[in-house]
Amino acid sequence: MESKFKLLVFAIIISAGCFSCKNGSASTSQKRDTYEAASSQWRCGLYNEIIKEDSIIGVWQTDFRSGGHRKDTLVINEGGRYYQIFSSSQKGIEYTSEWHSWWLEQRDSGGYYLHFENMKYCGGALGTCLDPGDSELSFYDFCEDTWVEMNKEFILSVVWDDSVPFDLRLRHMKPIGYDTYFVNYIKIE
């Protein structure tokens, strides 16, 4: 019952975001059409060399800028396997996934996407986790200036940043309905 309530609340938030899109700014499909007409260019930091899987392997974490109250951790192993650990001290939630698949995609724009099969969308306004298969979720990717639909997977942009350990961060795309959203996973080991 609790997961149905969470899904209902999330649907209301998404609906409100879609309503605001229709009343004052371009809709998701209009933005996608605009992007397809634009040139494909990576707008985030590009790594100096080809990113290889061994630079992705390790433990990555974000706290959603919550001061440590919400943490999402990705343990990424070689061989294309990962698991996710999410905790919210505010909501009393502890979640650890099973092992799932991940893969690295080099984009035509020169950037990289990191795909996570069955990764839950955690954090957000609700501070909870949603299954990627519960509904198709749209996210804005600043790095390619496009909207990305995620279903049964979650995608993070791989961004070069020499101000963080290991010189890479995984940029979380902005969920539909948010005005701003700047969340990054940083490699901690």
Q: What's the rounded Cα separation, in Å, for the pair 189 and 167?
A: 12
Q: How far is CA 55 from the centre of its chain?
A: 19
User: DSSP string spanning 24-75?
Assistant: TS--HHHHHHHHHHS-----SPPPSS---HHHH-EEEEE-TTSTTSEEEEEE
Only one residue has tokens 């990764």, namely: 119
User: Could you read off the pLDDT of 105-128 as tens digits, one per residue?
Assistant: 999 998 999 999 999 887 665 666
pLDDT at position 83 is: 97
CA dist list (Å): 151 to 121, 135, 136, 154: 11, 7, 5, 7
Specify whether the CB–CB gap between 6 and 135 falls below 8 A.
no
* pTM for the model: 0.74
pLDDT at position 101 is: 97
Only one residue has tokens 């959603």, namely: 64
Averages of pLDDT over runs of 10 residues in the chain (189 residues) are 43 37 33 38 79 93 79 95 91 91 93 93 70 72 88 89 90 76 86
